[in-house]
Amino acid sequence: MINVAQVGVGAWGKNHLRTFAGLQDCNLSICCDSNLDILSMIKNQYSNKIKTTLKYEEILNDKTLDAIVIATPAYTHADLALKALDAGKHVFVEKPIALNINDGKKLVNLAKKNNKILMVGHLLLFNPAVIKIKEYIDQGIIGDVSYIYSTRVNLGRIRNEENALWSLTSHDISVALFLLFDYPIEVIACGASFLRKDIEDVVFVTLKFKKNILVHIHASWLDPHKIRKFTVVGSKKMVVFDDMEPSEKIRLFDKGVDRKVDYQTYAEYLALRSGDINIPKINMQEPLLLECRHFIDCIKDNIQPLTNGENALKILSVLEAAQQSLNKNGKVVKINEK
């Protein structure tokens, strides 16, 4: 049995609480939050089976705990995770791992030094639909990837600390790196602040990969639509992942452009192809459940998580470069893999 504590039980942390509390081989024994109303809710909902505290130090000093789940605001991630690793605990921390590369590297190095699992909550990599698209790419079903674009927009929740780049696009960056198994070489990012000064509500990010593959991301919390859509265009087929669909989340389009030969002139020409649309049956499970279970399994089996510290550092370095481009009004910024 893995004894777990959770720090931060707010809007998204409540989902972690529910999930970890229901896992086999996991004993979520204590939660820490600065909000007394939240702690009272936990006591009532779980009949005092889960202890509560206002003091993080109480969790750090608890020798019975194996791991700490951190679901607090992004600016606190690095400090809380460093203290947890230093106390000899395994750590699951929500994305982003930190707000700068130096802090991220400290976490990765300390986890290695103390031989502890460090996992970062890049949730979409546990989505069965994303895993299916990865299979399509790896098996050559869609051919060579030409470009990818994603839309992640909604009206709210408005953030006060982090902009739309840091709050939203890390999802799409993580998926792009996962699908392409590659690292971008440059980024262009532009955006605007309409609701809070110097906190961009809308951003447009374009990543350029080797082999001239492009990835474009539109993210905003100031939009009339709620869209969570990812499109991959390949040389053979195209695939769309719509996370707002209740069941049919993936559509595989037999559409593309074929190169053909006119045997009268022997000249090559391009011909559009529009074939069938396939909706594959996917065994959809809650991605958060798969993610949390993965963390517990990694501790039990002493194996590195899919979304380990090194993976998170790659995403963080792309975010840092995108922020530099954003600060420079959309100038191209080269990306060096950290």
CB 92 within 8 A of CB 69: yes
In terms of domains, do 106 and 143 share one?
Answer: no
Residue 207 dihedral angles phi and psi, to the nearest 5°:
-110, 135
Judge if the upstream peptide bond of residue 259 is cis by omega within 30 degrees of 0: no
- What token pair was written down for 22? 């229901």
User: Which range among 4-8, 102-106, 111-115, 158-162 shows the weakest confidence by mean pLDDT?
Assistant: 158-162
pLDDT at residue 268 above 90? no
- Tell whether 309 is covered by a domain: no
- Tell whether 251 is covered by a domain: yes
In terms of domains, do 142 and 239 share one?
Answer: yes
- Tell whether 308 is covered by a domain: no
What percent of the chain has pLDDT above 90?
Answer: 85
- Tell whether 183 is covered by a domain: yes
Residue 279 to residues 44, 167, 169, 241, 248: CA-CA distances in angstroms?
A: 43, 31, 27, 11, 7
In terms of domains, do 19 and 96 share one?
Answer: yes
- Tell whether 163 is covered by a domain: yes
Task: Please tell me the predicted confidence (pLDDT) of residue 258.
Answer: 63
pLDDT at residue 269 above 60? no
In terms of domains, do 63 and 177 share one?
Answer: no
Domain containing 254 equals 125-286+317-334
Task: Please tell me the predicted confidence (pLDDT) of residue 257.
Answer: 67
Residue 243, classed as helix, strand or coil, is coil
Statement: the pTM of the whole predicted model exceeds 0.85: yes
pLDDT at residue 260 above 80? no
- Which residue has better confidence, 34 or 271? 34
- Tell whether 311 is covered by a domain: no
Judge if the upstream peptide bond of residue 184 is cis by omega within 30 degrees of 0: no
Q: What is the mean pLDDT of the chain?
A: 93
Q: 11: pLDDT confidence band, cut at 50, 70 and 90?
A: confident
Name the residue among 117, 177, 105, 86 with its Cα closest to residue 305: 117
Q: Rounded mean pLDDT of 138-156?
A: 96
Task: Please tell me the predicted confidence (pLDDT) of residue 140.
Answer: 96
The Cα–Cα gap between 110 and 81 comes to 10
Beta bridge pairs of residue 5: 30, 68
Q: Rounded mean pLDDT of 145-163?
A: 92
In terms of domains, do 168 and 263 share one?
Answer: yes
Task: Please tell me the predicted confidence (pLDDT) of residue 261.
Answer: 54
Name the residue among 31, 35, 33 with its Cα closest to residue 21: 31
pLDDT at residue 271 above 80? no
- Tell whether 269 is covered by a domain: yes
The Cα–Cα gap between 100 and 269 comes to 49
DSSP label at 199? Answer: B
In terms of domains, do 204 and 296 share one?
Answer: no
- What token pair was written down for 332? 């191209």
Task: Report the CATH number that the domain containing residue 297 is assigned in CATH.
Answer: 3.40.50.720
In terms of domains, do 260 and 139 share one?
Answer: yes
Task: Report the CATH number that the domain containing residue 272 is assigned in CATH.
Answer: 3.30.360.10
In terms of domains, do 187 and 235 share one?
Answer: yes
Give residues with Cβ within 8 angstroms of 16, minimum separation 6. 6, 9, 69, 71, 288, 292
pLDDT at residue 338 above 70? no
CA atoms within 13 A on the CB side of 179: 36
* pLDDT tens profile 225-234: 999 999 999 9
Q: 161: pLDDT confidence band, cut at 50, 70 and 90?
A: confident
What percent of the chain has pLDDT above 70?
Answer: 94
- Tell whether 248 is covered by a domain: yes
pLDDT at residue 122 above 70? yes
In terms of domains, do 188 and 119 share one?
Answer: no
The Cα–Cα gap between 327 and 79 comes to 25
Q: 168: pLDDT confidence band, cut at 50, 70 and 90?
A: very high
Q: Rounded mean pLDDT of 133-150?
A: 97
Report the 3 state secondary structure along 42-110. HHHHCCCCCEEECCHHHHHCCCCCCEEEECCCHHHHHHHHHHHHHCCCEEEEECCCCCCHHHHHHHHHH
Name the residue among 301, 300, 2, 306 with its Cα closest to residue 127: 306
pLDDT at residue 262 above 60? no
Task: Please tell me the predicted confidence (pLDDT) of residue 272.
Answer: 66
pLDDT at residue 150 above 90? yes
The Cα–Cα gap between 214 and 21 comes to 41
In terms of domains, do 160 and 171 share one?
Answer: yes
Residue 236, classed as helix, strand or coil, is coil
Q: How many domains does the chain have?
A: 2
- What token pair was written down for 247? 């069941």
CA angle in degrees (0–180, nearest 5) for 122-123-129: 125
The H-assigned helical ranges of 216-336 are: 287-301, 309-327
In terms of domains, do 162 and 54 share one?
Answer: no
In terms of domains, do 146 and 292 share one?
Answer: no
* Angle between helical axes of 164-180 and 309-327 (0-180°, round to 10): 130
